[in-house]
Amino acid sequence: MSVSRHTLYNIAGSAVPIAVSLATVPIYLSRIGLDRYGVLAICWLILGQFAVFDFGLGRAAAQRIAALADAPAEDRSRVFWASARLTALFSIAAMVLLAPACKLALDTVKVPTPQLRGEFVAALPWLVGCLPFALFSSLLNGALSGRREFLKLNLLTSFGSIATALFPLLSAIAFGPNLPHLIAAALTARLLTTLLLLLACRRAVPLLRPVRPLPGEVRQLVSFGGWVTISNVIGPILTIWDRFLIGAVLGSAAVALYVIPYNLVWQVVIIPNALTAALYPLLAASGAQERGRLTRSALNVLSLVMTPAVLFGLMAAGPFLHLWLGAERGDPAAPVAYLLLPGLWVNSFALIPASHLEAQAQPGRLARLHLAEVLPYVAILYAAVHFWGIEGAAFTWSLRCTVDALILFRIAKDRMPRTAAIEAAFVAAAVAVALATPLLSPLRWTLLPLLLAGGTGFVLWRHPEELLMALRLAGRERWAPAWARAR
């Protein structure tokens, strides 16, 4: 099945940079220090915020190119070049606005030393230079996704992630922990990755001679992309604005203690992200009945995979952070991981109705939901950070994910898996045990493995068809228990 194969490509593509990140973060901390690492994280956060200046064209191009799967190559090429022209215009506007935004962020975040503040200012031209490559990479990724070239896409994006992690680290080792040097090295990695993606698109779309876009195509791209842009503008506020508030209220060191466990547990969502990325072109090209079947099957697969993964994460995150970062840094970061994991669990299910809406060319409904959420979330987040620190930020983020998912399922007219309430009870119990018991407590190491075994056994029993599909994909169907084969 192509969806299964493409999902595996996406998982493998995400796993390689995760391994690199796990290996490099302790080296970064030892080479550049906790405060400088926190400022570097703010730099990447700002660049990520400005990725909204692609105005949704990457996602719009993916949807249009997928819908034109059986059309002549000239139609797909015309869509790509229309998107590329618009991306070039938007890149210029974004570059003009990025430097003032960075200076505003510098005035907001508590940078501990004048030297580090000066490095931040000196690094701005290099950070601005990274922006157009980020925007064009979004378009190129969308084009390859629309053509379902997931193997090429993941090979190239994995290379880019590895290069973006390693080039600055090599610069720090060779030239010292200077922010301009670090970001210039990352710019080199982004340039190389963008060129490789362009070469892949040239064959996959394929790219023919640029022609004047049709007015209707431009309107369709801008309309779709405009709604996606609203979600992309609001999305960072709903997902990563907590880091800015933590930096403003608690300082850059607290940002690092929040970002490190966040980035660690975020890797849990590589499976739902991989599945929805593989599913999206099919949803865009399918009828209503087939879309319903695909979404139901995808939700059951996520139930089978994500509940055991999150329960295992709740058991393993604390000891891993303790060993990885040491007691001084790892132990204060562990509660953040525990409080984020339930939000990641429910957010993984919400990706399916969100993709369903976009694939039906209804991104406006998703955007309006995000607009309605932003003010209540920011207000609650500010209070939580002020009174409870980084743990309050993590809890508020998970609460927002839960509310968002419930509403998304309602407006997309999809249904959560029937077992979701029982699975949620297992996850909530594991969070309570992880927060309430010491790291070496015998009670902790009795209850958490029992919850992991119970939750895993429950989803295996309730989703035998998905279990058989996974084993068939791995070539191990004979390993399936008799009750699964019988059903």
Q: Which two tokens stand for residue 52?
A: 């909204």
User: 142 with 287, same domain?
Assistant: no
pLDDT digits (tens, 9 = 90+) for 54-104: 777 787 888 788 777 777 888 888 888 888 888 888 888 788 877 777 777
Closest by CA to 461, choosing from 419, 416, 415, 414, is 419
Per-residue pLDDT for 178 more than 90?
A: no
* DSSP 8-state symbol, 209: S
Closest by CA to 124, choosing from 141, 102, 142, 104, is 102
pLDDT digits (tens, 9 = 90+) for 286-332: 666 776 777 777 788 888 888 999 999 999 998 998 888 888 888 88
User: 208 with 355, same domain?
Assistant: no
- On whether residue 233 sits in a domain, the answer given is no
How would residue 426 be classed by pLDDT, with cut points 50, 70 and 90? very high
User: 209 with 274, same domain?
Assistant: no
Instruction: Say if CB 231 and CB 89 are below 8 A apart.
Output: no
- On whether residue 230 sits in a domain, the answer given is no
pTM tops 0.75, yes or no: no
Q: What share of the chain is helix, strand, coil (3-state, %, to 5)?
A: 90, 0, 10
User: 334 with 394, same domain?
Assistant: yes
Instruction: Say if CB 77 and CB 254 are below 8 A apart.
Output: no
Per-residue pLDDT for 480 more than 60?
A: no
Span 37-49, average pLDDT? 75
- On whether residue 333 sits in a domain, the answer given is yes
d(CA 314, CA 340): 10
- Whole-number pLDDT of residue 269: 80
Query: Any residues with CB less than 8 A from the CB of 238 and at least 6 apart, and which?
Result: 370, 373, 374, 377, 400, 404
d(CA 368, CA 234): 10
User: 176 with 302, same domain?
Assistant: no
- Whole-number pLDDT of residue 477: 46
User: 220 with 251, same domain?
Assistant: no
Q: Residue 288: count other Cβ atoms within 10 Å of its Cβ.
A: 7
- Whole-number pLDDT of residue 271: 80
Query: Any residues with CB less than 8 A from the CB of 453 and at least 6 apart, and which?
Result: none
Task: Single out the residue in 160, 193, 225 at which a domain terminates.
Answer: 225
Domain containing residue 140: 1-225
User: 81 with 152, same domain?
Assistant: yes
* DSSP 8-state symbol, 148: T
Span 421-433, average pLDDT? 93
User: 209 with 355, same domain?
Assistant: no
Tokens 């990457």 appear where? 58
Q: How many domains does the chain fold into?
A: 2
Question: What Rg, from alpha-carbon coordinates, does the chain have?
Answer: 22
pLDDT digits (tens, 9 = 90+) for 323-380: 888 888 888 889 999 999 999 999 888 888 887 777 766 777 777 887 888 888 889 9
d(CA 61, CA 90): 15
Span 219-223, average pLDDT? 72
User: 167 with 256, same domain?
Assistant: no
Span 263-268, average pLDDT? 81
User: 84 with 147, same domain?
Assistant: yes
- On whether residue 102 sits in a domain, the answer given is yes
Q: Which two tokens stand for residue 414?
A: 């999809």
d(CA 271, CA 327): 30
d(CA 442, CA 420): 29
User: 115 with 39, same domain?
Assistant: yes
- Whole-number pLDDT of residue 448: 94
Closest by CA to 2, choosing from 400, 196, 392, 278, is 278
- On whether residue 26 sits in a domain, the answer given is yes
User: 323 with 381, same domain?
Assistant: yes
d(CA 330, CA 18): 18
How would residue 123 be classed by pLDDT, with cut points 50, 70 and 90? confident
Tokens 């099945």 appear where? 1
Span 104-131, average pLDDT? 74
